[in-house]
Structure 1
Amino acid sequence: MKNYTLIVPSSQRADDWFDFIRESLKHTEDVNNLIVDFNDVKFMDTDDFVVLACLIESFYIKGCQVEFIGGIDGFNNHLYNIKFKEYWKQGFDRSKFTLSHNQTTLCLWKISRDMIYSYSMYARQYFERFARDKDLIPLSSNMDEVFNNIFDHSKSPVTGYIITQYYPKNNKLSFSVCDFGVGIPNSIKRAGIDSEHDFEDWKAILKSLEKGFSINSTPRNRGFGLNNILEFTESSNGRLFIISNDGVVEKKAGEMYHAGSNNFNFSGTLIKIEVDLNSFEEKDDTNEIFDF
């Protein structure tokens, strides 16, 4: 039996995480038992969780078993509360809802086409408990946008993962989505858009954020693009962070873009969205009756 150990980075440095991904993906073949070692990890953000989930899935879909070791007590309690270690147990359905023991965390979810709208609607209802007078429909519609883009463009061997976290101290919400597909820049280049230009990857990501820009979308998603998500973060005093291939783009509401090359050589796309629930409009519960 061939074992392989993933030693999860204990830092929050992007360089450490993407070196970890790139090296680990070289070893997905002929592994019978994957050991995920959390060693001295104390904290993981939403983007860390979805990247790790996609990485584990890359081994799991090739038939290996998964076991977990390490991690300090406090962090292991968090893993228990969100049921992270259960996701790769035999018989566990990762495409369905999994209620966590932690009320501020919406379950890790392996994105499935059939459950897209159910998940986003559930997310809205789940977090309305913390923002009872706010209209969270924009949250669910923008989740739909991200999910549909994954299915339309990513061509990922590993279906994307999402996790959503609420932070009560500042009334903010963070959700991250990751896939190991071709990446936004490659998707644009394959479509032949502006083919006379040799786009750097970060410029291609910026192109994807332009209003009205879309490529080969399915009818349910045609005419919509990542610009909707950009506008959503702007209107909600939030932050949009995208890493895809060798490009990275960050946009905080009211500020200029920070964009450039990262040299991570990441085959896939990671999107992290943070929003301020205080900025959402209040619900309009007025029931109007129209007579015709």
Structure 2
Amino acid sequence: MTIQVFLPSQFTAPEIFPVIRDSFGTFSEIPTEVDFEFSNLRFVRPSGIVFLSNVARYLHRSGCRVTFSGMRRETNCIRFLDDSKFFEQHIGQAICEGSSPRSTTQPLREVRHEQSHNWLRSTLIPWLSISSQVPEHDLYNVQTCISEIFNNINDHSSQDVGSIFAQWYPNERRVIISVADFGQGIPNAVRTVEGELSDPLAITRAFDNEFSSKSTPRNRGVGLFDLKQNVVGRFGGRVTVHSLGGAVEFRNVDGSVNTSTYNVNGYCPGTLIDIELSTDRIEITNGERESFTWI
């Protein structure tokens, strides 16, 4: 069975979800060959890059032949994807002459749990510090929050690997970091201990204080709740989570964390987390950093 998947013009994960659902359902059957067609592409966001990358990798690892077509090399979108190392990751080489990572991005990368903490400390955080001019020691909480996402992937994904891509928007002094995995999904993990919650409510429960779906939880009180409280509560940012058929957005409203739940239009295998924050909201200190208690 061969499938051609025409990607939408808006290359964001929510725009790709219905295309994935219509093409693959819930991935109960894997086609022998899939061609992703890019000719409609007009706009790219980090969430689209990591989500499609994970889908393509999953299909390939499941024995499917994955190809890409319709890439118009003269367009800004394809050049951006190429500079982000999307095609190098999936076909082994860049497709545009002179392609190279941009200073405003941390290129697409697949990171295993055992590599994640060192990579965050040695690569992502120094890049973000240089881009934002926020000292590395004041980005410690950001590093801790993203580390917890990889802990969550390790706990709940059979692949034990996540894709990550980050983009810095200098005129807005804003960064978006997208992380995606192809695991069982947050709702399924939560339902192992909470019963039959809907997908959006299960995602919300995963971000409650001291919640864990593990029988002997590690880092109780430091997990996804800390991601929400730091990025949204302290830094005034936004965290958006898509998993299976549900989605939750945590946003700062008048100094408090506001939660919005909704159903996904389409299907999101695994979990996709978007972290968006303004680095102007991060307090610059003299180097002393807050300590966490690990139980």
Q: What SS does the aligned partner of 1:215 have? A: coil
Q: What SS does the aligned partner of 1:248 have? A: strand
Offset of residue 240 of structure 1: 0.8
Aligned to 1:6: 5
Q: 1:232 to 1:61 in 2, by over 3 A?
A: same
1:59 aligns with 2:62: no
Q: 1:100 to 1:24 in 2, by over 3 A?
A: farther
Counterpart residue identity of residue 21, structure 1: I
- Counterpart of 2:226 (choices 225, 228, 244) is 228
State how 1:203-222 maps to structure 2 within 5 Å.
203-216=201-214, 221-222=219-220
Q: Distance in 2 between matches of 1:3 and 1:263?
A: 24
Q: What SS does the aligned partner of 2:249 have? A: strand
Deviates most, 158-167 or 261-270? 261-270
Aligned to 2:127: 126
Q: TM-score, normalised by structure 2?
A: 0.82
State how 1:222-261 maps to structure 2 within 5 Å.
222-234=220-232, 235-254=234-253, 256-261=258-263
Deviations 1:250-290 (A, max 9, x none): 1211263211333534332111110110111214248xxxx
- Counterpart of 2:173 (choices 161, 171, 174) is 171
State how 1:182-221 maps to structure 2 within 5 Å.
182-190=184-192, 192-193=193-194, 195=195, 198-216=196-214, 221=219
The count of corresponding residues between Structure 1 and Structure 2 is: 272
Q: Distance in 2 between matches of 1:240 and 1:260?
A: 14
Offset of residue 5 of structure 1: 2.7
Q: Distance in 1 between matches of 2:47 and 2:126?
A: 22
Aligned to 2:111: 111
Q: 1:143 to 1:100 in 2, by over 3 A?
A: farther
Aligned to 1:95: none
Contact 1:66 1:89 in 2 (8 A): no
Q: 1:3 to 1:118 in 2, by over 3 A?
A: same
Q: Distance in 1 between matches of 2:164 and 2:266?
A: 21
State how 1:154-165 maps to structure 2 within 5 Å.
154-155=157-158, 157=159, 159-165=161-167
Q: TM-score, normalised by structure 1?
A: 0.83
Contact 1:57 1:158 in 2 (8 A): no
Offset of residue 35 of structure 1: 2.9
Gaps of 5+ in 1: 93-98, 287-292
Q: 1:152 to 1:218 in 2, by over 3 A?
A: farther
- Counterpart of 1:138 (choices 116, 141, 165) is 141
Q: 1:158 to 1:76 in 2, by over 3 A?
A: farther
Counterpart residue identity of residue 167, structure 1: Y
Identity of aligned residues (%): 28
Q: What SS does the aligned partner of 2:284 have? A: coil
Deviates most, 179-188 or 256-265? 256-265
Q: Distance in 2 between matches of 1:13 and 1:133?
A: 28
Q: Distance in 1 between matches of 2:141 and 2:85?
A: 28
Offset of residue 117 of structure 1: 0.9
Contact 2:87 2:93 in 1 (8 A): no
State how 1:61-100 maps to structure 2 within 5 Å.
61-72=61-72, 73-89=75-91, 100=100
Gaps of 5+ in 2: 289-295
| Richer in strand (by share) | 2
